Amino acid sequence: MGTSRIKSVQPNGTFEGAHGLRYKWEIELMDGSVGEVVTISEGRWNAGDEVEYEKTESQWGVKLKLQKPNMGGGNWNKGAKGGQSADVQKRIDASWSIGQAIAILGVCDSIDEETLLEYLKEMKNLSTLLLNIRNEKL
C-alpha cells in the first residue's frame, strides 16, 4: 500500500452496476501512479486529497483502490466500520440513508418552498425507516 496526494481526476464514463450507477475516473497521483477508480457518486476524490492506495493490474488495465489515511488500515475486506469512531460511523450511516431515500424518492425538481419542505419531510421519514431496518430496530 502506498500513500500519496491526488494530482488530477478526469471523468472516464459511467456504467450501470449491480447496485446502480457507477462513475469511472482516471486518477493520477503525485508519486506518478495512474489508474482507474470507480465511485458511487461524483466528487468523491479531488486534486490535493491525501490518499492511501492499492494498485492492481489486470486485463482491464490498472485499477486503484483509494481511501482516506487512517480509515481502516487499508484492509478493504474488513468492512466500512473498521477503525471508525462512533460519530464518524453515525455520519456515514446518515449519509447512506439519505442517499438511499433520494434514490427511492427521486430528485425534487420544485423550488416551491411548500413542495420542497414536503419532499424533505418524506426524505427524512424514509431515511429514518431505512436506518432502522438496517440496524434491525423495527
Asked whether residue 108 falls in the same domain as residue 68, the answer is no
Q: What is the residue range of 126's domain? A: 85-134
H helical segments located in 29-112: 86-105
Which tens digits make up the pLDDT trace of 43-61?
A: 889 999 999 999 999 888 9
Report the distance separating Cα 104 and Cα 76, nearest Å.
Answer: 27
- Look at residue 78 and tell me whether its pLDDT is greater than 50: no
pLDDT over 70, % of the chain: 88
The better pLDDT of the pair 84, 93 is held by 93
- Per DSSP, the three-state class of 11 is strand
- Alpha-carbon dihedral sign for residues 26, 14, 101, 122: positive
Record the pTM.
0.51
Split into its structural domains, the chain has a count of 2
Which tens digits make up the pLDDT trace of 12-37?
A: 999 998 888 999 999 999 999 999 99
Asked whether residue 51 falls in the same domain as residue 99, the answer is no
Asked whether residue 70 falls in the same domain as residue 89, the answer is no
